[in-house]
Structure formats: structure tokens, C-alpha cells
Amino acid sequence: MAQIARRLVTLAFDDVGYEGLTCEAWVSAPLSKTDQLVTTKDETKMRELLLELIPAWNFEDEDGPIPHTAEGFDRLPRELLVGILAKYQLRMNRPSMPGFSQAS
């Protein structure tokens, strides 16, 4: 039986003023995860979901590397967090399946 592959893509933030910063995004995540991210009102749950959907980043600030933890979010600039969410949403709306064409 075939399985759905866990596909990750790299999101870069050079174009929005955060040169060299990237994160990995899980683009083949199940709908149950992505829907929860949109509907949850619980900030702790939202952070847990984001850490799952964005499983790695290379973010640093003046204090050094920002840990990939729920507490690490507190060190992110709000505009970067909004940028992560916006780029993730845009990427989710552009499938990367082999052979997939927007024109099909």
C-alpha cells in the first residue's frame, strides 16, 4: 500500500527584509492539522501546531539562535510570524506534486 509522503519545502524571507532566514514547512500535512491552526483560539495549541507544521527554522536575533520551541515564538518579531503564516498559506495553495499543473 502506498503512503502519502511527508513533503517539506523551504520558505525564505529575503524578500521581506529577513535575509538568510528560512524555515521548513510541512506542505503535505493533513487537513486536520491545517484546519486546527485556522480555527483554534488557544494560543498554546496554536504554537504547538505551528511547531509541527513548521518543523525547523534558522532564526537568530541579537541574543543568538532562537530555539524551535513554543517559548521561541516570544522572540520572533510579529511581522516575521505573520510572514511565516502568509508564506505557508500561499505555499499550501500551490501544490508541488510531481506532474501537477495549475493549468490542468
Question: What CA–CA distance (Å, rounded) separates 99 from 104?
Answer: 10
Q: Are 23 and 81 in contact (CB under 8 A)?
A: no
Which residues on adjacent β-strands are paired with residue 47? none
Separation in Å, CA 102 to CA 36, 92, 96 = 26, 13, 10
Note the pTM of the prediction, 2 decimals. Answer: 0.82
| 39 CB burial (10 A radius; 0-12, 13-18, 19+) | exposed
Q: pLDDT tens-digit profile of 4-50?
A: 888 899 999 999 899 999 999 999 899 898 889 889 999 899 999 99
- Domain segments of the chain: what residues? 8-92
The yes-or-no verdict on residue 72 having pLDDT over 90 is yes
Strands 56-57 and 64-65, sheet pairing: unpaired
Question: What CA–CA distance (Å, rounded) separates 70 from 48?
Answer: 7
Could you say which DSSP state residue 94 is in? S
* Mean per-residue pLDDT over the chain, rounded: 88
